[in-house]
Amino acid sequence: MKRRTAARAAPSWFDELTMKATQSPAARKGCVPLCPLCLRGESSSLDEHGGTTMGLGILQHYTIEPADLEATKDFYVDVLGLDVGERPPLGFPGYWLYSGGVATVHLLGPRAPRAGITVRPPGMKLEHTGRLDHIAFAATGLAGVRARIRQHDVPFREQVLPRLGATQLFLHDPDGVGVEINFPPEETGT
């Protein structure tokens, strides 16, 4: 099993954009960052929103129940560069894969069905990603990531975002889950 520990990265351009949204007038009032009433200046208190606030923070992780646990772990570690990290003893096999020190991807191995738990049989072939389109990571090192993806013979599509100039790579994991990797504009053309 490959095990790497990564140093905590400095905030990315994407993190800075997220911080601006959380520091908006709406967020300072305790409302959601892109509240239309707050953005238009039509609201001066939470009472005008029925006294409700949005208590969600950043996306913490996503979980995949892969058909082949080891192949999927190898994809996220070898191709995308995530790190296998600490995982509580949950009573079934699996991995927590870390990005920037955060357990971003959880992989579930075979487990017994129980009340409230859906178990997808390994032989079940799911088309595409259901209603989920893709998961995205902010990244740096475009040339190196592109080379690593090619080294593993993983097909990908590349595009540059109009006006922003940021480069995006799109690929799929072994179970067909879409993965987007976003690079800052200064790396476009490398």
Q: Is residue 57 part of a domain?
A: no
First vs last C-alpha separation in the chain: 32
Mean pLDDT over 157-178 rounds to 89
What is the token pair recorded at 71? 């192949």
141 in a structural domain: yes
**Structure token pair of residue 143:** 């040339």
- pLDDT of amino acid 59: 73
Rg value, the chain, Cα:
20
pLDDT category of residue 1 using cuts at 50, 70 and 90: very low
Model pTM?
0.63
How many whole angstroms separate alpha carbon 156 and alpha carbon 179? 10
Q: pLDDT for 36-94, tens place per residue?
A: 455 555 554 545 544 444 455 667 788 888 889 999 999 999 999 999 999 998 889 99
Residue 50 lies in a domain: no
Whether 22 is in a domain gets the answer no
State the DSSP H helix or E strand holding residue 29, giving kind and residue range, or none if neither: none
163 part of a folded domain: yes
Number of separate domains in the chain: 1
pLDDT at residue number 130: 60
Which residues are within 8 A (CB) of 108 and not within 5 positions of it... i.e. 6 or more apart?
A: 63, 64, 65, 66, 69, 92, 94
Q: Read off the CATH number of the domain in which 139 is found.
A: 3.10.180.10
Q: Are 123 and 135 in contact (CB under 8 A)?
A: no
The pLDDT score that the predictor gives to residue 11 is: 53
Contacts of 76 (CB under 8 A, 6+ apart): 82, 97, 105, 107, 173
Task: Provide the domain limits for residue 83.
Answer: 62-110+132-187
**Within a domain: 165:** yes
Instruction: Identify whether 66 is part of a domain.
Output: yes
Q: Does 126 reside within a domain?
A: no
